[in-house]
């Protein structure tokens, strides 16, 4: 019995003392160091427009549907790119729902970008990402959208291609992941022209 | 399966091997009450003060019963603490979004989940948990449950190493020293690195961004009270709604992400976990996060070798783990790179692999590797949605958990789980050659084998029992997101994840119902404590034994023969227990996918 009471006291004290250290001191120290060393990143890598309002984060994707913009991946986050409802479709490999939505996405992608009926479509263009907030599309996907965006904006495809290249983020070191075109950065750059 | 993947995999294994000794050496100091570290001048006074507040004598060791009682009491107090905070969230500070308190079943499930190092999340973090709940109610257990696991592992290693001893260390000392000397400093450095990659760390309210292109969506029309308005035909009326803002979640994410990885907890700040660009922004942050999941568990194998004076044994255990890990990664990688034949027939480029539920920046390989790492260990963080993996790609994480997460495994939990298999392997080898089994000079008797089997059976029964119950009950079927064999996989995955204290999910399953929350919580408690208690009993029994000198017939616990035997034991036990269930889930689905049948 005495052992038990001693144990409970030790557990209660440990919970409180370690909560102060792990839940108070630790995050505060990290926040302080983060603010000193990487203030912009600690605050969410936000992008502000010319009028000073926040337009988004370079890390978080946004939905784009107009023909003059590059289109991001389909998103399962809320009603699409809802940054408070991150997540994937969680549909399995033999799901009819998933196959149907991919088929519809493929048809829309081919029609929107003037592709022939049997052209293979880049996988990222028609599948939902894990977070639903994927800021990137694959370079091959961006390349297929260049002609459309150039036409809509009256720009030379070469000029658009160059901005795509400038908005491409390559892993450092290269072999750790895949290069991706940051769609928000790309579309903002196009709007600034 | 491209060259970059091979380079990354080779580098990963090489770095893991290189880290093992330095981390192991440090662990030796941390897990010794009189050990010395470079942090002593700063931390020693704090450590002494903590012992005084707790009213314990750090020089007094505990026998296995006292050690086990301490573990259980801390768990109970921790569950009560977190349950209370979550139930009263609305009235507590640091809740800028004004989030409501949690219902009882969800609070119970979450409290158990974090205390048992599972971090199964029946909720979406960014829309359910206040900053205070995230930081205090949840993060505390990221530290305590990790330290508990390491304490139990250290106690078992002491039991193996000691001769004629009654005690196996002091739980409270292990708890405090692991937290102060290992977890806190390592997490601080790691968190700052994560911020350098873009992980957010602040106490600001959420940011509202004005979208570059407002989007229009169709929603169901609601009246002033929030009820859906129905038309004359009884169908819900819809209306167009323009969305012109995006609410971006803020908060102390880096500090939580660091400990969720190093402590193999896996509970994300956000719903998408390590797939969310704020939690895992770059391929580099992804690589280091994967390494950090295995780091401590890998170091513990060196600690085992050091403590038992047989470093070849420590490396043999490490090698068995590494081989199982590489095998799992290759299978998952192959399956995901091959992609889904159904989608390829529709027109998806075949060379791209299966990208549903994966992020572009990670691609196929880094997603497959992460899925393997997180389920080899009891981490459960995910950088891709396992539910959308191909059938075989999804089988790998599922089987990894069912093996008991002994491939490096959770901090501490991986080592003590693997040592149970070592005892079994030695026992089986002894039976084969007809000699009394010995492990490092200690005779393995009926009691040791019984305790090992008890630890193994607890998780097996919890996984298969609850899965069978759910699969045959309306409450179990109601939560499914997918039909057919994939539905069974979702249920099996949920209970495997709970009982193995992993926390990852085939996330399509809607588990935030009273039935699922409660059964999963019981599964987590069984998988944690019905394993820890027999293991501590095993430790106590081994500690009391005297060593017999190694003779001609002693089975060596190092070298290739032992590694093969150990791997064989792990795989065979896992396969015998779970193959029938796996055959009905992922295996059937694989053939269904090849055939092109949809559900």
Interior angle at CA B54, CA B379 and CA B64, nearest 5:
60
pLDDT for res B237: 78
A81 and B246 within 8 Å at the Cβ level: the answer is yes
Which residues, in sequence order, are CB contacts of B81 under 8 Å at separation 6+? A15, B111, B137, B140
End-to-end Cα spacing for chain A: 77
B188 and A95 within 8 Å at the Cβ level: the answer is no
Q: Which residues of B touch A9 (CB under 8 A)?
A: 54-55
Q: How many CA atoms lie within 13 A of A185 on its CB side?
A: 20
- Which among A17, A88, A174 has the least Cβ separation from residue B385? A88
Report how far residue B477's alpha carbon sits from residue B464's, in angstroms, rounded to the nearest whole number: 16
pLDDT band of A42, cuts 50, 70, 90:
very high
* Cβ of residue A155 closer than 8 Å to a chain B Cβ: no
Computed on alpha carbons and rounded to an integer, the radius of gyration of chain A in Å comes to: 23
- The alpha-carbon gap from B483 to the nearest alpha carbon of chain A, in Å, equals 8
Which residues, in sequence order, are CB contacts of B483 under 8 Å at separation 6+? A95, B599
Q: Which residues of A touch B391 (CB under 8 A)?
A: 93-94
Q: Which residues of B touch A185 (CB under 8 A)?
A: none
pLDDT for res B113: 95
Per-domain residue ranges of chain A: 2-42, 46-192
Report how far residue B485's alpha carbon sits from residue B498's, in angstroms, rounded to the nearest whole number: 20
Measured CA to CA in angstroms, residue B171 lies from A168, B52, B60, B180, B297 at distances of 51, 15, 10, 14, 19
Report how far residue B486's alpha carbon sits from residue B385's, in angstroms, rounded to the nearest whole number: 14
Name residue B238's beta-bridge partners: B220
User: What is the DSSP code (8-state) at residue A23?
Assistant: I
B275 and A131 within 8 Å at the Cβ level: the answer is yes
Q: Which residues of B touch A32 (CB under 8 A)?
A: none
CB B488 within 8 A of CB B473: no
Measured CA to CA in angstroms, residue A48 lies from A85, A118, B208, B211 at distances of 23, 41, 11, 11
pLDDT for res B359: 97
Q: Cα–chain-centroid distance for residue B505?
A: 11
End-to-end Cα spacing for chain B: 29
- The alpha-carbon gap from B3 to the nearest alpha carbon of chain A, in Å, equals 8
User: What is the DSSP code (8-state) at residue B135?
Assistant: I
pLDDT for res B598: 81
Report how far residue B422's alpha carbon sits from residue B568's, in angstroms, rounded to the nearest whole number: 11
Task: Count Cβ–Cβ pairs < 8 Å, chain A vs chain B.
Answer: 415
- Which among A44, A87, A176 has the least Cβ separation from residue B200? A44
pLDDT for res B135: 87
pLDDT for res B226: 67
Q: Which two tokens stand for residue B592?
A: 């269904």
pLDDT digits (tens, 9 = 90+) for A94-138: 999 999 999 999 999 999 999 999 999 999 999 999 999 999 999
Q: Which residues of A touch B383 (CB under 8 A)?
A: 130
Residue B124: count of CB within 10 angstroms of its CB: 17
Helix axes B363-376, B311-338, angle to 10 degrees: 140
Helical spans, DSSP H, in B88-165: 104-115, 125-128, 131-132, 139-161
- The alpha-carbon gap from A100 to the nearest alpha carbon of chain B, in Å, equals 9
Q: Which residue has the tokens 């029938």?
A: B580
- Which among B127, B275, B481 has the least Cβ separation from residue A130? B275
Report how far residue B293's alpha carbon sits from residue A105's, in angstroms, rounded to the nearest whole number: 37
pLDDT for res B83: 96
Q: How many CA atoms lie within 13 A of A146 on its CB side?
A: 18
ipTM above 0.90, yes or no: yes
Report how far residue B180's alpha carbon sits from residue B275's, in angstroms, rounded to the nearest whole number: 30
Measured CA to CA in angstroms, residue A153 lies from A68, A162, B9 at distances of 6, 15, 44
CA-based nearest residue to B523, from B401, B389, B412: B401
Q: Which residues numbered 53-92 in A keep a CB inside 8 Å of some CB on B? A: 53-57, 59-66, 69, 73, 77, 79-92
pLDDT for res B387: 94
Measured CA to CA in angstroms, residue B301 lies from B18, B21, B54, B206 at distances of 13, 9, 31, 43
Name residue B63's beta-bridge partners: B167
Q: How many CA atoms lie within 13 A of B110 on its CB side?
A: 31
CA-based nearest residue to B482, from A17, A38, A91: A91
A22 and B73 within 8 Å at the Cβ level: the answer is no
- The alpha-carbon gap from B558 to the nearest alpha carbon of chain A, in Å, equals 34
Q: Search chain A and give the residue with CA nearest B75.
A: A11
Residue B578: is it exposed, middle or buried by C-beta count within 10 angstroms (0-12/13-18/19+)?
Answer: buried
- Which among B247, B258, B484 has the least Cβ separation from residue A94? B484
Q: Which two tokens stand for residue A32?
A: 């302080």
pLDDT for res A170: 95
CA torsion sign for B569, B574, B575, B576 is positive
Q: What is the greatest pairwise CA distance in chain B? A: 89
Residue B255: count of CB within 10 angstroms of its CB: 32
Q: Which two tokens stand for residue B190?
A: 């790691």
CB B517 within 8 A of CB B105: yes
Residue B125: count of CB within 10 angstroms of its CB: 24
Report how far residue A88's alpha carbon sits from residue B163's, in angstroms, rounded to the nearest whole number: 53
Residue B244: count of CB within 10 angstroms of its CB: 12
CA-based nearest residue to A81, from B244, B349, B504: B244
Report how far residue B5's alpha carbon sits from residue A181's, in angstroms, rounded to the nearest whole number: 20
SS3 for B318-350, per residue?
HHHHHHHHHHHHHHHHHHHHHCCHHHHHHCECH
Helix axes A2-19, B64-87, angle to 10 degrees: 50
pLDDT digits (tens, 9 = 90+) for A132-188: 999 999 999 999 999 999 999 999 999 999 999 999 999 999 999 999 999 999 999
- The alpha-carbon gap from A84 to the nearest alpha carbon of chain B, in Å, equals 6
User: What is the DSSP code (8-state) at residue B472?
Assistant: T
CB B339 within 8 A of CB A113: no
Tell which of A177, A179, A181 to mutate to test the B interface (max B CBs under 10 Å).
A177
A131 and B276 within 8 Å at the Cβ level: the answer is yes
B349 and A123 within 8 Å at the Cβ level: the answer is yes
Report how far residue B317's alpha carbon sits from residue B303's, in angstroms, rounded to the nearest whole number: 11
CB B527 within 8 A of CB A111: no
Report how far residue B82's alpha carbon sits from residue B84's, in angstroms, rounded to the nearest whole number: 5
Residuewise pLDDT in 10s, chain B (599 residues)? 789 999 999 999 999 999 999 999 999 999 999 999 999 999 999 999 999 999 999 999 999 999 999 999 999 999 999 999 999 999 998 888 888 999 999 999 999 999 999 998 888 777 888 888 988 999 999 999 999 999 999 999 999 999 999 999 999 999 999 999 999 999 999 999 999 999 999 999 899 999 999 988 777 777 766 677 777 777 777 788 888 999 999 999 999 999 999 999 998 889 899 999 999 999 999 999 999 999 999 999 999 999 999 999 999 999 999 999 999 999 999 999 999 999 999 999 999 999 999 999 999 999 999 999 999 999 999 999 999 999 999 999 999 999 989 999 999 999 999 999 999 999 998 888 888 888 998 999 999 999 999 999 999 999 999 999 999 999 998 888 888 889 999 999 999 999 999 988 887 888 889 999 999 999 999 999 999 999 999 999 999 999 888 777 778 899 999 999 999 999 999 889 999 999 999 999 999 988 887 87
Q: Search chain A and give the residue with CA nearest B481.
A: A91
CA-based nearest residue to B381, from B507, B296, B529: B507
CB B61 within 8 A of CB B166: no
CB B78 within 8 A of CB B137: no
Strands A180-182 and B207-220: unpaired
pLDDT for res B218: 77
CB A102 within 8 A of CB A113: no
């Amino acid at each position: 019995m005495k052992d038990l009471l001693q144990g409970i006291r030790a557990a209660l004290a440990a919970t409180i003392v370690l909560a102060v250290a792990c839940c108070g001191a630790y995050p505060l120290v990290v926040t302080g160091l983060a603010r000193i060393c990487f203030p912009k990143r600690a605050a969410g890598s936000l992008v502000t427009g010319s009028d000073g309002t926040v337009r988004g984060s370079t890390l978080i994707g946004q939905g784009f549907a107009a023909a003059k913009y590059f289109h991001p991946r389909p998103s399962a986050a809320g009603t699409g790119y809802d940054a408070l409802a991150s997540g994937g479709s969680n549909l399995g490999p033999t799901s009819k729902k998933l196959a149907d939505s991919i088929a519809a996405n493929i048809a829309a992608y081919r029609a929107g970008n003037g592709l022939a009926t049997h052209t293979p479509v880049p996988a990222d263009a028609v599948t939902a990402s894990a977070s639903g907030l994927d800021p990137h599309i694959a370079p091959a996907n961006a390349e297929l959208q260049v002609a459309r965006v150039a036409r809509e904006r009256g720009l030379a495809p070469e000029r658009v291609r160059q901005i795509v290249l400038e908005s491409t983020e390559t892993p450092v070191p290269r072999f750790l992941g895949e290069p991706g075109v940051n769609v928000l950065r790309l579309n903002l750059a196009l709007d600034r022209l | 399966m491209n060259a970059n993947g091979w380079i990354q995999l080779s580098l990963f294994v090489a770095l893991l091997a290189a880290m093992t000794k330095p981390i192991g050496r440090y662990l030796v100091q941390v897990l010794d009450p009189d050990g010395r570290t470079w942090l002593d001048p700063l931390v020693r006074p704090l450590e002494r003060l903590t012992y005084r507040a707790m009213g314990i004598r750090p020089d007094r060791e505990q026998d296995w019963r006292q050690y086990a009682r301490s573990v259980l009491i801390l768990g109970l107090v921790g569950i009560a603490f977190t349950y209370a905070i979550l139930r009263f969230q609305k009235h507590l500070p640091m809740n800028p979004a004004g989030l409501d308190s949690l219902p009882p079943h969800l609070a119970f499930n979450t409290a158990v989940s974090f205390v048992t190092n599972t971090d199964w999340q029946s909720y979406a973090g960014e829309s359910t948990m206040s900053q205070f709940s995230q930081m205090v109610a949840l993060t505390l257990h990221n530290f305590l449950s990790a330290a508990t696991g390491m304490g139990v592992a250290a106690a078992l290693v002491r039991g193996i190493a000691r001769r004629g001893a009654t005690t196996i260390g002091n739980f409270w000392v292990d708890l405090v020293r692991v937290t102060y000397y290992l977890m806190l400093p390592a997490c601080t450095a790691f968190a700052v690195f994560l911020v350098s990659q873009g992980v957010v760390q602040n106490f600001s309210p959420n940011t509202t961004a004005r979208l570059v292109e407002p989007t229009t969506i169709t929603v169901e029309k609601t009246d002033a009270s929030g009820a859906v308005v129905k038309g004359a035909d009884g169908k819900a009326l819809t209306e167009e709604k323009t969305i012109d803002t995006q609410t971006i979640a803020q908060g102390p994410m880096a500090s939580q992400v660091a400990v969720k990885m190093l402590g193999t907890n896996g509970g994300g700040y956000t719903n998408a976990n390590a797939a969310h660009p704020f939690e895992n922004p770059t391929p580099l942050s992804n690589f280091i996060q994967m390494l950090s999941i295995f780091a401590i568990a890998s170091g513990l194998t060196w600690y085992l070798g050091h403590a038992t004076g047989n470093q070849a044994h420590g490396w043999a255990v490490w090698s068995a783990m590494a081989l199982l890990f590489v095998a799992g990664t290759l299978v998952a990688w192959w399956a995901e790179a091959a992609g889904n034949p159904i989608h390829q027939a529709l027109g998806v480029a075949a060379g791209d692999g299966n990208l549903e539920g994966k992020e572009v920046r990670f691609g196929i390989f880094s997603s497959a590797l992460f899925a393997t790492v997180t389920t080899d260990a009891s981490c459960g963080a995910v950088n891709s949605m396992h539910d959308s993996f191909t059938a075989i790609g999804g089988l790998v994480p599922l089987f990894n958990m069912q093996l008991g997460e002994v491939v490096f495994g959770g901090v501490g939990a991986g080592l003590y789980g693997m040592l149970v298999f070592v005892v079994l392997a030695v026992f089986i080898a002894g039976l084969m050659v007809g000699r009394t089994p010995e492990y490092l000079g200690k005779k393995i008797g009926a009691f040791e084998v019984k305790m090992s089997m008890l630890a193994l059976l607890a998780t097996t029964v919890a996984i298969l029992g609850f899965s069978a119950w759910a699969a045959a009950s309306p409450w179990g079927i109601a939560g499914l997101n997918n039909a057919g064999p994939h539905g069974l996989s979702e249920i099996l995955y949920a209970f495997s994840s709970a009982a193995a204290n992993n926390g990852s999910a085939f996330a399509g399953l809607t588990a935030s119902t009273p039935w699922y929350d409660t059964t999963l919580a019981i599964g987590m408690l069984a998988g944690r404590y019905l394993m820890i208690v027999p293991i501590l009993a095993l430790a106590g029994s081994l500690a009391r034994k005297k060593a017999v000198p190694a003779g001609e017939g002693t089975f060596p616990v190092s070298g290739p023969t032992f590694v093969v035997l150990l791997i064989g034991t792990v795989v065979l036990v896992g396969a015998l227990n779970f193959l029938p269930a796996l055959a009905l889930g992922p295996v059937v689905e694989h053939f269904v996918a090849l055939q092109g049948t949809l559900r």
